[in-house]
Amino acid sequence: MKKLRLYYEEYNKGPFALLWKHFTQQHFAFFGFITLLLLLLLALLTPFLTPHDPYLQNSQLLLVPPSWQNSGLVSYPLGTDDLGRDLMSRLMLGTSYTFGLAILAVLGSLIVGVILGALSGMSKGVKSSVFNHLLDLALTIPSLLLAIVIVAVLGPGLLNTIWAIMLALLPQFVHGVRNAIQQQLKQDYVTAYRLDGASQRQLLLFVIFPNIWEQLVLMFTMALSTAVLDVAALGFLSIGAQSPTAEWGSMIADSLDSIYLAPWTVALPGLMIFITVLAVNLVGDGIRVAMKKRREN
């Protein structure tokens, strides 16, 4: 029996629901989001999914081509490298290194950047001016160059790679958070809260941060693509991940000598880097468009 509704209420979606609605309407951005979820799951579950040991060398299976070629093997779908290691297993493990390390570095940089950006955005006078000039100076240096300099000081290795990328990305997070807070401080509702007796801490936690979380997510996605490229570049230059670590940039560097004999050993890690960066950029662009549509509505 059909229900009789005597009262009708208009249902208004929240800001997150509206943002998600506008985001899912963009097919390329949603495809990039699904791709990132798959990469994240692969990075977490790689130890349970790899068909072979990524570091196991087999002298009987050197440079086996992918299985779609005539001399390929079904048990090695993407072939092997010059030491007989399974490329599919190494690419899957490389997701944990290249993509996983990039996420950790950006998360660490975001947390520190929010703290320093909040201190900078809520301060005034000479202290704020000097801090902002130092940030502007740091932003003129490309993040990869800054990461190379930091790794050269700290030394090569995965842990130092994370620290280097964190420090290299930190200025843009601090600058972005500071600008977002400064824009919020000019809004009328912030002035109303101040007149109502709200402290600086209450303004920051309960008024400003709830209104800039979308910008923080956008900054995170934009920085993630830079971090993936930086991790791969440091590995390619042999100052980040060291051989025989199954990191995509390091895998490309190790296979350059056999690029004409076995081009798949270089092309496949490069393709993984391309897919990851493309997916991150699609998601970032989708979030930016969704934020714009939500404001217009």
CATH number at residue 172: 1.10.3720.10
Mean pLDDT of 129-151: 78
Determine the pLDDT at residue 10.
Answer: 52
Task: Provide the b/e sequence for 39-64 (b: ≥16 CB within 10 Å).
Answer: beebbeebeeebebebeeeeeebebb
Mean pLDDT of 10-32: 82
Structural domain contains residue 22: no
Mean pLDDT of 125-133: 68
Determine which helix (DSSP H) or strand (DSSP E) holds 180, and give its type and residue range. Answer: helix 158-185
Determine the pLDDT at residue 12.
Answer: 62
pLDDT over threshold 70, residue 2? no
Structural domain contains residue 29: no
Find all residues with CB under 8 Å of 33, minimum gap 6, and list them: 23, 279, 282, 283, 286
Does the pTM exceed 0.85?
Answer: yes
Structural domain contains residue 95: no
Q: At 257, list the tokens.
A: 């000598």
How far does Cα 162 stand from its chain's mean position?
12
Total domains in the fold of the chain: 1
Is residue 284 exposed (0-12), middle (13-18) or buried (19+ Cβ within 10 Å)? buried
List, for residues 255-288, the tens digit of each pLDDT value. 998 889 999 999 999 999 999 999 999 999 999 9
CA distance 167 to 163: 6
Mean pLDDT of 128-145: 74
Structural domain contains residue 184: yes
Structural domain contains residue 55: no
Confidence of residue 220 (pLDDT cuts 50, 70, 90): very high
Confidence of residue 97 (pLDDT cuts 50, 70, 90): very high
pLDDT over threshold 80, residue 130? no
List, for residues 5-18, the tens digit of each pLDDT value. 555 455 566 677 88
CA distance 102 to 162: 8
Structural domain contains residue 122: yes
Structural domain range at position 189: 103-297
List, for residues 58-74, the tens digit of each pLDDT value. 989 899 999 988 888 99
More confident residue, 45 or 297: 45
Structural domain contains residue 123: yes
How far does Cα 44 stand from its chain's mean position?
15
Mean pLDDT of 159-163: 90
Determine the pLDDT at residue 76.
Answer: 93
Nearest to 165 by CA among 242, 222, 215, 226: 226
Determine the pLDDT at residue 214.
Answer: 84
List, for residues 169-210, the tens digit of each pLDDT value. 988 898 889 889 888 888 888 888 888 888 888 888 888 888
Q: What is the mean pLDDT of the chain?
A: 87
CA distance 290 to 294: 6
Residue whose structure tokens are 């009328």:
188
- Computed on alpha carbons and rounded to an integer, the radius of gyration of the chain in Å comes to 24
Determine the pLDDT at residue 231.
Answer: 94
Reduced to 3 states (helix: H, G, I; strand: E, B; else coil), residue 86 is strand
Determine the pLDDT at residue 163.
Answer: 92
Structural domain contains residue 158: yes
CA distance 292 to 19: 9
Determine the pLDDT at residue 126.
Answer: 66
Mean pLDDT of 222-246: 91
